[in-house]
């Protein structure tokens, strides 16, 4: 079974499966990469692309299935194993040593040495120039400190680094996200050059247009399953979107249409820009009491930045926020809380919870004034408040003294919700509130939000799960590459249409003027 076959594919995956608590990230994925092809990996957020890449590059291990690399069994235990086997990943997030030179970063894993074992600077310099020339950075001195370079140059250096070892398979995860159109063109040309040299390239990008420009075949993933592998020439943007979304829409009964929002909006945003926003367009929208509005878009489209700016977690670059039509200034979380605005952050373990402290202390953390008198904690009041939230949110626990760490993801998220609900907010912002939460708790959280909205809470939900938003929300705002591209009312919800809005700014050829959708 292990005998290499002369005509073996570059990489062959059979039934690859990866299970996380409560989620099947990869569900029996079969995939064959030919030698010297550029293979696109497409899918929505959470479809399994990242999980697949992690397993290929040795950062994670599969629970089931087999991989064969050029006919031989392949099971990397570490990223180093993968590099030795000739598989190299250019990561979305750059991992560079800022204080070292370009040359040192490029050749970090195989620094040339002289016979005395000292660093061979001349050889290093020469080798670095060769690699830089490959990615079109001929005029960059190898001795330049990486900290002085911009994101695009770093990205190209990262790619050059992938070429420095004898890579047989190069995986590029969103390599063009930070590049200008000219740099992107150069990168695509480089990819073709690599392919012609017999290297297999796996290409992941939100920019569907790029896939058509450079890829030979495409594999679409959805919910951890492979949906299709097709020749690029035999498909279209529309078909790809349809494959990514799937046809089995609306598994969950939509909630009854809410009464049309009446009166002044609870929250109105005028001309908002967050730090680091792309493009010129500012963000404008309003949110009414009793309404659940979804903020849809791809990861990195600016959804998280928007809600964080509204809460004062990160500074606002420009814009005015109105609460009940009164202009308010929000520069710190304190300001938002004083206005009755709360935020359930994206990352509950790092930002939402104090994992090693008791559930009781986590629930009271944002309401310490209510459970204390002149600075002294009232243990009884605190316990009662915590118990009240535990009952209201049906948090499953043994005791409110338990550290939150011991709870399941869903129950941890309910503790975060309890912390905010104890403050009786008027505007609740939630960033990926059901990520890593099991199905049961997910349904409970949805029901809770609907109940709270019915009582007059204004809710804004960010989620990468479009179907979740369509089931839960009265209205959707769609963001694409830092631009609020449109708004969709419940009656017009259509998954493919919304998704193409989310891709709008990515698929459009660079430089074209922005058109306002919907």
Partner 1 sequence: MPAPNTLRRKSQAALREAGIGVALAGLVAVFALLSPIFLTPSNLTNIFTQISINVILAVGMTFVILIGGIDLSVGSVMAFCAVVAGTVLKLETLDTASAIGLALLAGMAVGALCGLVNGAVSAFWGIPSFIVTLGMLNIARGAALQWTQARSLYEFPDAFNNFGSATLLGVPAIFLVALSLVALGWLVLNRTVFGRLIYAIGNNEEAVRLAGHNVMGYKIVAFVICGAAVGVGAVIYMTRLTIASPISGIGFELNAIAAVIIGGTSLSGGRGSIVGTLLGACIIGVLANGLILIGMSDFLRQMVTGFVIILAVVLDVYRARLTRSAA
Binding site for partner 1 (CB under 8 A): 311, 313, 332-334, 336-337, 343, 345, 350-357, 361, 365-366, 368-369, 372, 375-377, 396, 398-399, 401-403, 405-408, 411, 419
Helix or strand run (H / E) with residue 209: helix 208-214
Query: Residue 393 Cβ, how far from partner 1 at the closest point, in Å?
Result: 16
Our CB check for partner 1 shows the closer of 85 and 363 to be 363
Least separation, in Å, of the C-beta of 420 and partner 1? 9
Q: Rounded to the nearest whole angstrom, what is the least distance from the CB of residue 413 to partner 1 in the complex? A: 14
366 or 497, CB closer to partner 1? 366
Neighbours of 73 (CB within 10 A): 11
In the bound complex, what is the minimum distance in angstroms from residue 274's beta carbon to partner 1? 16
| Residue 180: other Cβ atoms inside 10 A | 11
- In whole angstroms, give the CA distance from residue 298 to residue 131: 33
Q: What is the CB-side half-sphere exposure of residue 417 using CA atoms within 13 A?
A: 30
Nearer to partner 1, 236 or 424 (CB): 424
- For partner 1, give the closer residue by CB, 280 or 399: 399
Alpha-carbon distance 77 to 167, whole Å? 18
If the CB atoms of residues 366 and 496 are measured against partner 1, the closer one turns out to be 366
Read off the DSSP letter of residue 490.
Answer: G
What is the DSSP-derived secondary structure letter of residue 352? I
Neighbours of 1 (CB within 10 A): 5
Minimum separation from the CB atom of position 78 to partner 1 (A): 22
The angle, 0 to 180 degrees and rounded to 10, between the axes of the packed helices 151-164 and 181-196 is 10
Give me the least distance between CB of 348 and partner 1, in Å please.
Answer: 9
Of 247 and 376, nearer to partner 1 (C-beta) is 376
Closest approach of Cβ 399 to partner 1, in Å?
5
Pairing type for strands 292-296 and 458-462 reads parallel
Nearer to partner 1, 429 or 466 (CB): 429
Q: How far is the CB of 343 from partner 1 (least distance, A)?
A: 7
Residue pair 493/470 in contact (Cβ under 8 Å)? The answer is: yes
Cβ 462 to partner 1, closest distance in Å? 16
Q: Which residue has the tokens 């007059």?
A: 456
Q: Which is nearer to partner 1, 94 or 365 (CB)?
A: 365
Does residue 245 sit in helix, strand or coil?
Answer: helix
> Taking Cα atoms as reference points, which of 68, 161, 36 lies closest to residue 111?
161
Q: Which is nearer to partner 1, 62 or 313 (CB)?
A: 313
Closest separation in Å from C-beta 447 to partner 1: 21
Tell me whether strands 38-42 and 376-377 are parallel, antiparallel or unpaired: unpaired
E strand spans, 44-86: 64-69, 72-73
Separation CA 404–CA 415 (nearest Å): 8
Residue 484: CB minimum distance to partner 1, A: 24
CB of 366: closest distance to partner 1 in angstroms?
4
Integer CA distances (angstroms), 33 to 45, 124, 164, 320, in order:
22, 33, 22, 51
Work out the angle at residue 176's Cα, subtended by the Cα atoms of residues 173 and 182, and round it to the nearest 5 degrees.
Answer: 155
CA distance 428 to 448: 12
Burial class (CB in 10 A: 0-12, 13-18, 19+), 511: exposed
**Which CB atom, from 202 or from 462, has the smaller least distance to partner 1?**
462
Q: Which is nearer to partner 1, 99 or 196 (CB)?
A: 99
Residue 28: count other Cβ atoms within 10 Å of its Cβ: 15
> What is each CA distance from 142 to 104, 120, 123, in whole angstroms?
8, 14, 12
Q: Is the Cβ of residue 115 or residue 373 nearer to partner 1 in the bound state?
A: 373
CA nearest to 294, candidates 500, 45, 487:
487
């Amino acid at each position: 079974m292990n005998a290499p076959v002369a005509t073996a594919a570059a990489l062959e995956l059979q039934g690859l499966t990866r299970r996380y608590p409560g989620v099947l990230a990869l569900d029996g994925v079969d995939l064959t990469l030919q030698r010297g092809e550029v293979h696109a990996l497409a899918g929505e957020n959470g479809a399994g692309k990242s999980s697949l890449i992690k397993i290929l590059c040795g950062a994670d291990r599969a629970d089931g299935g087999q991989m064969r690399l050029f006919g031989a069994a392949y099971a990397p235990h570490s990223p180093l194993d993968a590099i030795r086997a000739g598989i190299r990943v250019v990561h979305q997030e750059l991992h560079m040593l800022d204080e070292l030179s370009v040359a040192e970063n490029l050749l970090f894993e195989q620094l040339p040495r002289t016979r005395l074992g000292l660093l061979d600077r001349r050889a290093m310099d020469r080798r670095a120039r060769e690699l830089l020339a490959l990615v079109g950075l001929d005029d960059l001195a190898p001795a330049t400190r990486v900290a002085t370079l911009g994101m695009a140059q770093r990205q190209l250096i990262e790619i050059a680094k992938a070429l420095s070892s004898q890579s047989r398979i190069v995986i590029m995860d969103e390599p063009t996200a930070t590049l200008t159109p000219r740099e992107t063109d150069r990168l695509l040309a480089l990819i073709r050059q690599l392919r012609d040299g017999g290297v297999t390239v796996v290409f992941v990008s939100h920019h569907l247009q790029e896939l058509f420009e450079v890829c030979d075949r495409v594999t679409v993933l959805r919910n951890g399953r492979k949906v299709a592998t097709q020749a690029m020439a035999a498909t279209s943007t529309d078909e790809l979107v349809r494959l990514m979304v799937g046809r089995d829409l609306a598994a969950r009964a939509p909630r009854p249409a809410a009464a049309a929002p009446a009166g002044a909006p609870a929250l109105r945003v005028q001309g908002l820009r967050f730090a680091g926003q792309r493009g010129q367009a500012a963000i404008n929208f309003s949110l009414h009491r009793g309404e659940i509005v979804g903020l849809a878009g791809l990861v990195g489209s600016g959804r998280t930045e928007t809600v964080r700016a509204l809460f004062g977690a990160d500074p606002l670059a420009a814009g005015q926020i109105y609460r009940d039509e009164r202009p308010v200034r929000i520069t710190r979380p304190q300001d938002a809380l004083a206005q009755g605005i709360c935020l359930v952050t994206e990352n509950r373990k790092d930002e939402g919870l104090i994992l090693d402290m008791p559930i009781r202390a986590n629930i009271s953390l944002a309401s310490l004034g209510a459970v204390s008198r002149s600075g002294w904690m009232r243990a009884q009041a605190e316990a009662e408040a915590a118990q009240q939230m535990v009952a209201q949110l049906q948090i499953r626990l043994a005791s409110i003294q338990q550290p939150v760490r011991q709870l399941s993801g869903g129950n941890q998220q309910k503790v975060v919700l309890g912390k905010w609900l104890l403050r009786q907010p008027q505007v609740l912002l939630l960033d990926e509130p059901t990520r890593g939460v099991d199905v049961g708790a997910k349904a409970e959280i949805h029901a809770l939000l609907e109940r709270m909205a019915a009582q007059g809470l204004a809710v804004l939900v960010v989620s990468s799960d479009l179907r979740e938003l369509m089931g839960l929300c009265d209205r959707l705002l769609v963001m694409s590459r830092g631009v609020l591209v449109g708004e969709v009312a419940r009656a017009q919800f259509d998954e493919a249409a919304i998704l193409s809005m989310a891709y709008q700014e990515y698929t459009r050829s660079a430089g074209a003027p922005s058109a306002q959708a919907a």
